[in-house]
Structure 1
Amino acid sequence: MSILESKGLVKRFGATTALDGVTFAIEPGRIVGLLGPNGSGKTTLIKLANGLLVPTAGEIWVDGQAPGKETHAAVSYLPERTSLPLWMTVKELQTFYHDFYADFQVERSEEMLDRLEISPKQRMKQMSKGTREKVQLILTMSRQAKLYLLDEPIGGVDPAARDYILDTIIRNYNPEAAVVISTHLIADIEKVLDEVIFIDRGQILFQSSVDSIREEKGMSVDALFREVYRC
């Protein structure tokens, strides 16, 4: 069974169509890049999968169920913008996640915080934007979820920390789970991807394994992205 699947998925906001007949399937054990320019529908698709939006038409399933209260326990979601309360300390956030999510692993989060030299006593409001994003990613990846939805996980992170963060994503997700990474920083994440889904103007252009792109097209995902979305 696919861990994330949609069929004829449509989402409209008034007269604007954000997604138009989107159909795809993602299997467990895959790290998938959801790639497209700004405004292509990436964030809308991720929010639909997380149950934050309701489809206008078509269907979407997480582990065989429509997104909602039943699927929240299976999905670990990293929003594009930091959504954690700024008054809380890192330790308080760890406690909050542990109380709220049965699959949250405190020791895993402590290990990652220590590696990035982030103090559990520090309050979110005392941190730089990049450090806040690291904390939110650590909390997201410290869950033992079936599906990880990461919206621009390295967008505000300094290049020196990107390799560690990507390694964290690889090492800390359940091999039976799937990871969806929405980003425009293709060159930075290409090395961790198994598959890519190219989306533009609310429509899926194609879905392919990274190996197939390299073998059949003789180019990197980053080079193909630049070619497909050339202005």
Structure 2
Amino acid sequence: MDMEASGNIVELSGIHKRYILKHALTGIDLEIKKGRIVGLLGPNGSGKSTLLKILAGLIHPTSGTVRIDGRAPDANRKKQIAYLPEIDHLYGWMTVDETLRFIAGFYDDWQADKADELLATMNLDGRQKVRNLSKGLRARLKLIVALSRSVPLVLLDEPFSGIDPSSRAKIIRSIVSEFRTGEQTIILSTHSVSESEPMFDDVMFLQQGSVRLFDSADNLRSDYGCSLENIWEKVYA
């Protein structure tokens, strides 16, 4: 089936990823529809970051096929994906404003007006040096970088790490308000399940490199009769 016609932004078939001492992914078969916010959940070592890197085209699976919007990943497809890694990739000697201008120069799809709005929403001072920002403020800046691009697929790996709970709730509301249903898909890996739960359309639970559960958030809550956070506890007890 033509994936573009089927409405899938992502299709994975038989994805394995082996490292020398570890089998990170053990046969992922997966379809993700366009225009959804997908929660990628699982304990450390379950394969979340590896899966996101494969989708971003940063690493290749040992076996299996990857299709993004109907095509195999290539240089052009990478340009249509915004990826926020868990590691800090910002230059400390730049100011916040300089960082955003620097990154804007790499992408034709950069939305300066959206970056300015997010800068205000996340209470960041554009004149501050990145090296002087707290871990939480640097996490906010990384989110601005990812969310300011007009691309079909946004991949966020632990974007709320270091951000306090009250600020997380505000940022999540901002992401949801900016999200344009039907035009963009967001796949978000997080341990902050309780705060993030309201934003998820679909949820995937990974365990030891394979998909343990994948369904709409509403169906999972209905089937288990509890919140996603409580489902987490049941799955990984």
Question: TM-score per shorter chain, which class?
Answer: over 0.9
- d(CA) in 1 for partners of 2:73, 2:90: 22
- Write out aligned runs for 1:209-228 (5 A): 209-228=216-235
Q: Give the alignment partner of residue 215 of structure 2, picking from 203, 208, 215.
A: 208
1:75 and 1:149 in contact (8 A); partners too: yes
Give the 3-state SS of the residue equivalent to 1:71 in structure 2. helix
1:51: how far off?
Answer: 0.9
| Map of 2:25 onto structure 1 | 19
Q: Give the alignment partner of residue 206 of structure 2, picking from 199, 209, 213.
A: 199
Q: Say how many residue pairs are matched.
A: 230
TM-score normalised by the chain length of structure 2: 0.93
Give the 3-state SS of the residue equivalent to 1:54 in structure 2. coil
| Map of 1:47 onto structure 2 | 53
147-156 vs 173-182, which moves further: 173-182
Ranges of 4+ aligned residues in structure 1 off by more than 3 Å = none
| Map of 1:229 onto structure 2 | 236
Please state if 1:91 is matched with 2:97: yes
- d(CA) in 1 for partners of 2:121, 2:194: 24
Please state if 1:29 is matched with 2:49: no
1:120: how far off?
Answer: 1.2
- d(CA) in 2 for partners of 1:154, 1:33: 13
TM-score normalised by the chain length of structure 1: 0.96
Deviations 1:161-203 (A, max 9, x none): 1112112221223421111011122111001101111111001
29-38 vs 87-96, which moves further: 87-96
1:31 partner amino acid? I
- d(CA) in 2 for partners of 1:46, 1:126: 29
1:72 partner amino acid? K
Query: RMSD over aligned Cα, in angstroms?
Result: 1.2
- d(CA) in 1 for partners of 2:37, 2:117: 23
1:144 and 1:173 in contact (8 A); partners too: no
Question: Which ranges of structure 1 fall in alignment gaps of 5 or more residues?
Answer: none
- Write out aligned runs for 1:1-231 (5 A): 1=4, 2-175=8-181, 176-230=183-237
Give the 3-state SS of the residue equivalent to 2:76 in structure 1. coil
1:146 and 1:174 in contact (8 A); partners too: no
- d(CA) in 1 for partners of 2:229, 2:62: 32
1:128: how far off?
Answer: 0.7
Deviations 1:5-64 (A, max 9, x none): 210001001141100110111111111111111000000000011111111000112112
1:66: how far off?
Answer: 2.2
Identity among equivalent positions (%) equals 39
